[in-house]
Amino acid sequence: MTAVRLFGVTFKNPIVLAAGTAGFGREVTGVIDLDALGGIVTKAVTPEPRRGHPGPRVAEFRGGMLNAVGLANPGLDAVAAHDLPWLVRRCEPGGLRIIVNVAGASIADYVRVIERLTPLEAIAAFEINASCPNTSAGGLEFGAEPGALTELVRACRRASTRPLSVKLSPVLPDLPLMARVAQAEGAEARQYRSRHARGPARERRGRSERTGVAARGRARDAPGDGESRHRGDWRGRRAHHRRRS
């Protein structure tokens, strides 16, 4: 398979596992031959450990799948001390490139993670998860408003000499504008998540009425809320598809 050049380094092939699909690599070693990949994007890393949302976190329906994981991860200290060192040892002999996904509830959270992990030379780039809710803006996604995205990318750019890839939601009102904002602040790449705001009007109304984004299968952090809304969205989508068929 053809090698590709990205972030100033060579990926031996263009197959890169997306964030959240393979943990920190250790979780899939018995299932996938990591040496056959070009790269891996880690699970989101936040300053504090996060257990994520209560189950069920994943629900299938005829048109696809919904998930509400809640950025579950062991936290920055554990990732820096255990998960990333293991991944580096495993990936270096085969030339597998590592991209670290970074998340947080404030700009300071992102900066803290990046500053701590930047010294690890094996990291090819940081992926900035700009779809996280900004607590200082009432829970609005960092990537949903030009000013907030500007501040986030600018702060991350100052914190690290590594390339940045900014992960945006594909359902933003003006996605090209937000991509240009990220690029203007120094992001080398933009990425768009494969989530779609399709479904009955009930779900679209839920997006403005609640902190979570029901139309994309996400749930807020309130105990129990993720489970009930997740099931409700699943049932609503199934009913919607039955009416269309």
Mark 6-25 as b/e (b = at least 16 C-beta within 10 Å): bbeeebbeeebbebbebbbb
Per the annotation, the verdict on 156 as an active-site residue is: no
Query: From CA 103, how far away is CA 44, in angstroms rounded?
Result: 6
Half-sphere exposure for 169 (CA within 13 Å, toward CB)? 22
Residue of 71, 132, 149, 187 marked catalytic: 132
Whether the CA torsion 67, 71, 74, 78 is positive or negative: it is: positive
Beta bridge partners of 58: 67
Residues 6+ apart with CB under 8 A from 75: 45, 46, 47, 48, 49, 50
Instruction: Give bridge partners of residue 41 from the DSSP assignment.
Output: 99
CA distance 31 to 220: 32
Catalytic annotation, residues: 132
